Amino acid sequence: SRPVEKIEQKIITLLDDMAETMYANDGVGLAAVQVGILRRVVVIDIGDEEIGLIELINPVIKTSSGSQINEEGCLSVEGRRGNVKRPAKLVVEAYNREGQLIKYTAQGFLAVAMSHEIDHLDGVLFTDKLEEKRELRFWVLLILPCLL
């Protein structure tokens, strides 16, 4: 996805439409690429009233630490779930709809949601990171040489 060069009314409308789509589909996050717009725009709402709706324009993960493995799903991959290893804590910088640069420190489920949605902007799906695939690759690399 390409960076947003200027925050214009069409980006504000995109944010509003994405939030509406996310809520209508019981999602916790949505990236613009999931609705066919190749821009670095994300909306997230993990259901925490204190945090509310988060809108990220041109998000960048500045730091990450720790790890956690959680079961994930995705509006783009209906019916599929799996365990994914993600950072336990992230610091993300992004612009809001007013064009202000905001720094977010995310932990736990919010870190998962931010990492998941920012991955979409880079063309990565949660299915690309499934722990089950990692285990399978490990066993193939371990066993295959013994069979040869």
Q: So which residues are the catalytic ones?
A: 117
Closest by Cα among 46, 64, 51 to 119: 64
Rounded Cα distance, 107 and 2, in Å: 26
> For residues 71 and 120, is the Cβ–Cβ distance under 8 A?
no
